[in-house]
Structure 1
Amino acid sequence: MSVGPLGKAKPGATDVARLPPRDDTPFVEAAWLYYHDGLNQNEIAERMRISRGSVANYLNEARARGWVRVHLDSDVFRGHRLAAELCAVYGLAEALVVPDDPVDPEGTAASVARVTRAAADWLPRLLGPGDRLGVSWGATIYRMAQQLPNMPVPDLTVIQLLGSRPAALGFAAEACTAMLAQRLGGQCINLHVPLVLSSKALRDALSAEPVVRDQLDALAGCNKTVLACGTCDADAHVVRSGILSAETIADARDDGAVGVICGRLIDSAGQPVPTEVEDRMIGVTLDQMRGKDMALLVAAGPGRAAPAKAAIKGGFVTHLATSTRVVEELLEMTA
């Protein structure tokens, strides 16, 4: 809907914009007839004595306002044959396997969107009253957060796991955490420090500040996490965000690095591959990421199977949301 100052429709706006201000009745009526009574758009147009185009606009507006959310039960994906096989092979508690988009042969944008949407529907069901959810960062987590339904969890605390770093497209760590907290109705604890400092001494001094120490204690006490495991390619997120140089990550690959969890590198067995920058980082450690009651890894897109396997083997994952292609690659790795 195109709206001008004071809520007045601009010239050429849709039928929705020409409704009287704050008159929500047509939206509600159209949504009820479509989603509850099962009428098609032509039948609704006849019933409401409006055009079919207006019906489509009303339904779109109802969805845009968050009044309607189409939900496909995650049990459908958790019951997938590949999900059961993956759990059996890798010892996962549960896995959610989304079919790849058939017109997306490389498993890129469309398939990533499918996985993040399914993970967003699943995450609230993995949480309970009193949980302390630690949140990783990056494009995958940010996209998932954007699609999360408004489903408040009583007495939930949502905690940023690592310090801040400028990131393209707005998916900085604090944005991921704040959005998840808002959608889940939880208390938000951001880590108000840079992720990387210029020296270890400065890192140690800042970490010792009482307010920062309290935030670090909070992230250490998370009982559940949601995370992504990035790649160690030359265009990896840790390189594009300036945490590591292309030369440093190339050297780390030579040392066996295959994945990145919260800015820290791991090898194929899920063990740390240290870099010099870690002495200057403020955030969760790899040891603190292990052994959680629930740790949901969202793995989507090309090249994600090897990092996912490493994260699972390292004890960072109990639940996995991914696509058919990634699962098939994971199972091939055990053959």
Structure 2
Amino acid sequence: MDAGQEKKRLLVKVSTLYYMDGLNQQEIAARLGISRPQISRMLAAAKSEGIVQINIRNPYSEEQAYERAIAETFGIHDVIVVHVENADRQVIDLHVARAASALLESAIKDREVVGIMAGRAIAAVGSEIHFIGRKDVQFVPMIGGFGSDGGAWHANSNARVFAERLKARHLLLNAPAVVASPTARDFFLGEAEIADVLNAARKVTLALVGIGQVSEQATIVRSGYFSDVDLADVRKKGAVSNICTSFLNENGERISYDAERRMIGLTIDEIRAIPNVVAVASGPEKVEAIVAALRGKCMDVLVTDMDTAQQILEWHRTHPYPS
């Protein structure tokens, strides 16, 4: 047997020990008297020469095609697309929430400070997340409260739910999201306790946000704190998307609006500065808003469903940026 055949025989042996018998590289090195780096090089050579061929049974290939397409189109880190065949909106939203919770369970590290937004989508994620045993994790609301009607899903409540589920700590932002006047806003921001929470929110390393459409169904409008006059004002200025206290036009650009001087919470510029922003949004009514947020680089990861993913790409294709 020539040297080439002997080399091939050894590559087959090493590959069998690693892939079939389950030995790690150090154990193979000890057994064969070969250095661990050399074992690593041999495994790489076995793949490049076709001795090892890895086949992955992938039941999620269609979803992953849309994940790649959205990530590459908009230049974000990752996309998670959930597909539930023949399901109604409620079931789809549940599966989207579960996908986002699984992502967070992997993403949250020891001593992580996590920013939490208001909204039903965020509340649903909190209801699905499981205890993961991370140390010294803290959740921080990123916007003020929306009053009693939004009690179950405003940012304080959402932060509390996440903290309870993960046995972590949380802060409370004891201020409304929208106040009566700029003077009132200045008064609230002058309170050390409120200012400290907002400063903590600006320093989070991971944030979970929703994306709101600009309509009567938006969280900020349904709360009653954002009037019809305020809604008409932002619409007139081209707003199609709402994240925290900011509104975006269809190109993802932040717009200035009158009520902004009465808002208490993080702006989209402050959210963009957070190292890892996960957005959870789905549904046909939110497609335009999601595209605007993607164009505006407002997130690092998007969690959505298959139908919404398809519509995102189609809306972006049929509504190009102005020349």
Shorter-chain TM-score range: 0.7 to 0.9
Give yes or no for contact 2:245–2:268 (8 Å, CA) kept in 1.
no
Please give the per-residue CA displacement for 1:209-262, whole angstroms capped at 9, x wherever unaligned. 222221121111112110001111222222110132234323422321111111
Q: What one-letter code is carried by the residue in structure 2 that aligns with 1:256? A: G
> What residue in structure 1 maps to residue 237 of structure 2?
255
Q: 1:278 aligns with which of 248, 260, 263?
A: 260
Identical amino acids, percent of aligned pairs = 24
Please identify runs of 4+ aligned residues in structure 1 that moved more than 4 A: 75-79
In the TM superposition, residue 316 of structure 1 has moved relative to its aligned partner by: 1.5
- Normalising by structure 1, we get a TM-score of 0.72
Q: CA RMSD in A?
A: 2.1
> What TM-score comes out, normalization by structure 2 length?
0.74
In 1, the alpha carbon distance for the partners of 2:160 and 2:61 equals 28
For each residue in 1:143-190, what CA deviation from the matched residue of structure 2 results, as whole angstroms up to 9, or x when unmatched? Answer: 111111122322222100011122347112211011112222322011
Is 1:329 the equivalent of 2:278?
Answer: no
Equivalent residue runs for 1:93-104 within 5 Å = 93-104=77-88
Give CA deviations for 1:48-105 in whole Å, capped at 9, x if unaligned. xxxxxxxxxxxxxxxxxxxxxxxxxxx958972211222111112111100144143x
Q: CA deviation at 1:121?
A: 1.6
**Distance (whole Å) between structure 2 residues aligned to residue 210 and residue 233 of structure 1:** 34
Question: Of the candidates 155, 159, 162, which is equivalent to residue 143 of structure 2?
Answer: 162
1:134 aligns with 2:134: no
Q: Which residue of 63, 68, 76 maps to 1:84?
A: 68
Aligned equivalents of 1:111, 1:92: Cα separation in 2: 23
CA contact 1:100–1:111 (8 Å) conserved in 2: yes
Q: Would you say 1:146 and 2:127 are equivalent positions?
A: yes
Alignment match of 2:156 (pick from 174, 177, 200) = 174
Output the amino acid matched with 2:302: L
What secondary structure does 1:257 align onto? coil
Specify which of 292, 300, 310 is matched with residue 318 of structure 1.
Answer: 300
CA gap of 1:78–1:144, structure 2 versus 1, over 3 A, is farther
Cα gap change, 1:188 to 1:200, in 2 (>3 Å): same
Q: Give the number of aligned pairs.
A: 258
Residues 163/319 of structure 1: CA separation in 2 closer, same or farther (3 Å cut): same
Whichever structure has more helix as a proportion of its residues is 2
> Contact 1:137–1:176 (CA<8 Å) still a contact in 2?
yes
Which residues of structure 2 form unaligned runs of 5+? 1-58, 318-323
Q: Distance in 2 between matches of 1:207 and 1:248?
A: 22
Partner of 2:40: none
Equivalent-residue separation in structure 2 for 1:248 and 1:280 (angstroms):
11
CA distance in 2, matches of 1:255, 1:213: 30
Q: Say which of 282, 285, 288 aligns to 1:303.
A: 285
| Contact 1:92–1:318 (8 Å) recurs in 2 | yes
Name the structure 2 match of 1:186: 168
1:107-126 equivalences under 5 Å are 108-126=89-107
Give the distance between the partners of 2:309 and 2:283, measured in 1 at CA. 11
| Residues 78 and 261 of structure 1: CA distance in aligned 2, closer, same or farther (over 3 Å) | farther
Selected match of 2:206 from 205, 224, 228: 224
* Larger Rg computed on CA atoms: 2
Q: Structure 1: where are the runs of 5+ without partners?
A: 1-74
Equivalent pair of 2:253/2:296 in contact (CA under 8 Å):
yes
